[in-house]
Amino acid sequence: MRYLWILVVTASLFGLSATPSRAQTQDAETEAFVRGFVRFLAYHEAGHLLMGQIADLNSDPDWSNVDREDYADRFAMILLAPDAEDPDGIDEIISAAAGWLQVDSSVLRNEPHAPAEQRAIEIICLLYGSNPQQFGEFAEALPAGRDCAAEYQIIDNDVEEVFRDHSGELGQEIGIVFAAPTGGMENARLFLQDSGIVEDLKLDIEADFYLTHRTTIQAMSCAGKAKPDTFYSDRVRGATPDEDHFVITLCYEMIDERLRYGMRGFEDETQ
Ligand SMILES: [Zn+2]
């Protein structure tokens, strides 16, 4: 796991694991780690949502599912790209990449998406590409021959020119629903609410994109209803296209699983 090692080492450069007392800080470390991973998943779903609502790419026959998943990850990276002076933002993005490297099948069921390690590398590539000077340490973790700066520029231009709204007008507001948890998911709900991820996502989208349709971000217990451990966006078809309702669903079970799993796999490297 060369990549893992490099990620953990580079993470330590930014203070992710600079911990004076492991016992006291372990919970906080785990929470920061899970927060970064969950935030990336939520913003990935926002990529799907905006691809569907603004550019109608979700039904474009020229795009494969793999294309769309890759694009949603890139979209998330543009929305979350941290400044070099934003250590928390950097930690969160590294956590998202590291989260994909916890490839134990008991926590990862992401079959429609690219292989987990690939997703981690793409995140690091775009992070590096967003500012090769500031993030030079990450070059070592990247495959030779990739022009990550050019790749970053392409998706950044897309988001700027195709997706972002420059009229200054506000579109539809996003609704937020934290459904009552069932099946012991209270902690996951509290974690998600405390994290501010859902509100951040709502505000980020409303500020920069013009939503034409009813849109909701809902957090819920999914067991017995839908893929209980994944995050996904869905498009609830109305009687007419005007009545379509765009929904991002965040399942408490996924968060609960990640909180339980914690930083397993990174203990030795982060000592
Ligand atoms: Zn996806």
Q: What is the three-state SS of 181-234?
A: CCCCCHHHHHHHHHHCHHHHHHHHHHHHCCCCCEEEEEEECCCCCCCCCCCEEE
pLDDT digits (tens, 9 = 90+) for 72-105: 999 999 999 999 899 999 999 999 998 888 755 5
pLDDT at 137 over 80: yes
Strands 174-178 and 245-251: unpaired
Residues with CB under 5 Å of ion ligand 1 are 69, 72
| Best mean pLDDT range from 1-5, 98-102, 246-250 | 246-250
* Å from CA of 109 to ligand 1 middle: 12
* Å from CA of 258 to ligand 1 middle: 18
What pLDDT band is residue 219 in, cutting at 50, 70 and 90? very high
pLDDT at 151 over 80: yes
* Å from CA of 194 to ligand 1 middle: 24
What is the structure's pLDDT at 109?
Answer: 57
Long-range contacts of 221-224 (CB under 8 A, 24+ apart): 221/179, 221/181, 221/182, 221/183, 221/185, 221/251, 221/252, 221/253, 222/249, 222/251, 222/252, 222/253, 223/182, 223/183, 223/253
pLDDT at 21 over 50: no
* Å from CA of 42 to ligand 1 middle: 10
- pLDDT (mean) for 226-253: 78
* Å from CA of 25 to ligand 1 middle: 32
What is the structure's pLDDT at 261?
Answer: 85
What is the structure's pLDDT at 76?
Answer: 96
- pLDDT (mean) for 179-197: 96
pLDDT at 114 over 90: no
- Higher pLDDT among residues 98 and 130, named by residue: 130
What is the structure's pLDDT at 23?
Answer: 47
Distance CA 42, CA 40 (A): 5
* Å from CA of 47 to ligand 1 middle: 8
pLDDT at 144 over 70: yes
What is the structure's pLDDT at 27?
Answer: 85
**φ and ψ at residue 12, rounded to 5 degrees:** -65, -25
What pLDDT band is residue 2 in, cutting at 50, 70 and 90? very low
What is the structure's pLDDT at 43?
Answer: 96
* Å from CA of 65 to ligand 1 middle: 9
Distance CA 12, CA 53 (A): 39
